[in-house]
Amino acid sequence: MKGLKGKRVLITGASSGIGAGMAKVLAREGCHLVLHYNTNAKGIQDTFAEVQALGAKADVLQCDFRQLDELSDFLEQAWSVFDGLDGLVNNAGIVTKSTSINDPFGKQFADTLTVNLQAPYQLSTAFAQACIAAEKPGAIVNNTSIHGQATCEWFSAYAASKAGLDAITKAQAVEWGRYGIRVNGLAPGVVPVERTEAILLKPDMEKKWCDRMPAGRYGTTEEMGEATAYLLSDATLWMTGSILTIDGGLIARGNYPLR
């Protein structure tokens, strides 16, 4: 990808799944990586070993994004690893499945918004402030979801957080464009990861999902990594405030009966 070699990028939630896929692709592109995790110590060590094997310079930082008062210090630590950052990938998040009736006082709802929306908002703001102070451009990629555009039962908290992240992506792109800071979103569709592949790869479940996708298959974590690399690269210098949907055509097809 154009202009990625040597770029310093912080990836949150890099211990598994899409975050690990992003790390591997960016390592191949020659980026220097700061890899964040919260509780999955084994997973982050696996990711760290893989990106090092690909020749990337990398470091690991831990932070619980529910502790919002720690985020400024966390970003400052990440900034200091390679004496600055060129990119921030807000990938960390939690998937909450609960109906409103099951969460009448909104405890799970609030928890989901803290991690999926408030934390990226604060991290992006701290990153932008650091870029502005250093008089350097920067690029932010927010990992949103197709649930921000169309959702289903049990996902009110998750969908609200991702729709909010889509909105923040656009607003912050407008606010920071004058400083050379680009903000874009990546909205993945159904991508099997460690916590979901046991169910998604069952033949009947795979058929149920993939029959509804014009592409006829699930996405992969590497494809999400390639899309992230594109959004961070110089190929998208004139792209900001956009949400790149990669879902095999699932949203485009809609919920029509199969014909």
Strands, E assignment, 125-171: 138-143
- For the CA atoms of 161, 118, 16, 95, the dihedral, rounded to the nearest 10 degrees, stands at -30
> Which CATH class, in words, describes the domain spanning 8-245?
alpha beta
Q: What is the mean pLDDT of the chain?
A: 97
Which percentage of the chain shows pLDDT scores above 70?
100
Quickly state the pLDDT bin for 104 (edges 50, 70, 90): very high
**Residue 71 near residue 65, CB atoms below 8 Å:** yes
Tokens encoding 172: 């912050």
Q: Which residues contact 169 (CB under 8 A, 6 or more apart)?
A: 142, 144, 183, 184, 185, 241, 243
Q: Which residue has the tokens 């046991």?
A: 198
- pLDDT at residue 259 tops 90: no
Quickly state the pLDDT bin for 99 (edges 50, 70, 90): confident
- Where in the chain are the domains? 8-245
Give pLDDT tens digits for 216-240: 999 999 999 999 999 999 999 999 9
